[in-house]
Amino acid sequence: MATPTSAMLEAVRRMTAEPVTNWGYLDADLTTILERYPLPDSDGLAPDAVLWAGNWDLNRAAADIWEEKAATVAADFDFAADGGDYKRSQVYAQYMGIARSFRARRASGVVQMIVEPKPLGAVRLEAWVGNLSELATEGDYG
């Protein structure tokens, strides 16, 4: 099974402003997060294919990390003391804004719509209207 490359891990580190130290997100943590979001590789092979070369959605992983970082400061509150006005909630808002930005750049997918219940033999698929209480038949539309 393919695993994310060191270049991918470094890219996610840069995207999330994550330092390379012994605290925070280790390479194993980043690998675990990246492995949640496999994508088809450059040859178009799906992640469950035997010869899949490995490709992951870095933007989606970065969004998850920013949301986790936001969760760590969610309880911070604004306060005023000694003539100062401290807006600690801005950190949470900034983290969530960055997460939304990366989430908007995630890889798009395909959703296959399946008509249920299956249309009867006399029903043309293009004539199927899902919100009608009765089935449309060939004679109703032509």
Is residue 54 domain-shared with residue 120, that is, in the same domain? no
Long-range contacts of 104-111 (CB under 8 A, 24+ apart): 105/59, 106/37, 106/57, 106/59, 106/60, 106/63, 107/37, 107/39, 107/57, 107/59, 107/60
Q: Could you give the angle at which helices 89-104 and 58-73 cross, rounded to 10 degrees?
A: 170
100 and 116 housed in the same domain: no
pTM over 0.85: no
Single-letter code of the amino acid located at 47: P
86-108 pLDDT, tens digit per residue, is: 888 899 999 999 999 999 999 98
Task: Give the total number of structural domains in the chain.
Answer: 2
Where on the phi/psi map is residue 48: left (φ > 0), alpha (ψ -120 to 50), or beta? alpha
Q: 140 with 70, same domain?
A: no
Q: Which domain holds residue 118?
A: 111-142
128 plus 91 within the same structural domain: no
CB-CB contact of 85 with 35 (8 Å): no
- How do residues 26-49 score in pLDDT, each as one tens digit? 999 999 999 999 999 889 898 999
